[in-house]
Amino acid sequence: MRRFRRDPLPVGVLDRLIEAACLSPSVGLSQPWRFVIVDEPARRQAVLANFRDCNADALGDYADGKAALYARLKLAGLEEAPCQLAVFADRATAMGHGLGRRTMPETADYSAVMAVFTMWLAARAEGIGMGWVSILDSARMCEILDVPQDWRFIGHFCIGYPESEETVPELEREGWEHRRTVDEFIVRR
């Protein structure tokens, strides 16, 4: 989801979506997710500049036809989406007393991703779209948003009403990649 209408979300909707996210399962009931609502224009501009720098660098990773296609793709809705939300995982949280994280500390990150997934489903149920902007420098995002350096950046999300409803993802429509069948992902032992 990269194409948003600029209409603001009704008051309270983003808070309600975050509340739904906080009902997600988490390792040891640690609730390690941290949500940063990005409203300040200067911070939004800094996020956009971060994206543009990283996107320009990424373009060099592709050759020939993929580079031209990459340059054409709309990979963020940072200028249009009325809401922006950064999500972090606090691996050091005392909540949950470390249960399940001693051997697999990354489960805090997975828990934060579960919260994003839950929020995404709740948003879509209300006709709201979310776009995950991953072409960002994580360390720079911590600086821009002035969060603790030990928080793990999960993603930056653009949230708003979609310009149009599509059943086929834009990356597939543009020929970047195609959806595979389920049997390509199953391994039986």
Residue 98: per-residue pLDDT: 84
Cα 85 to Cα 74: distance, rounded to the nearest angstrom: 19
Q: Is 175 inside any structural domain?
A: yes
pLDDT value at position 64? 77
Asked if the structure places residue 83 within a domain, the reply is yes
pLDDT for residue 167: 87
Specify if 95 maps to a domain. yes
- Residue span of the structural domain in which 147 resides: 13-185
CATH at 129: 3.40.109.10
**C-beta of residue 81 within 8 angstroms of C-beta of residue 162:** no
Per-residue confidence (pLDDT) for residue 66, from 0 to 100: 87
In a domain, 118, yes or no: yes
pLDDT the model gives residue 110 = 96
Domain tally, the chain: 1
User: Do the domain assignments include residue 69?
Assistant: yes
pLDDT tens across the length of the chain (189 residues):
889 999 999 999 999 999 999 999 999 999 999 999 999 999 999 999 999 999 999 998 888 778 888 888 889 999 999 999 999 999 999 888 988 888 898 999 999 999 999 999 999 999 999 999 999 999 999 999 999 989 999 999 999 999 998 889 888 998 899 999 999 999 999
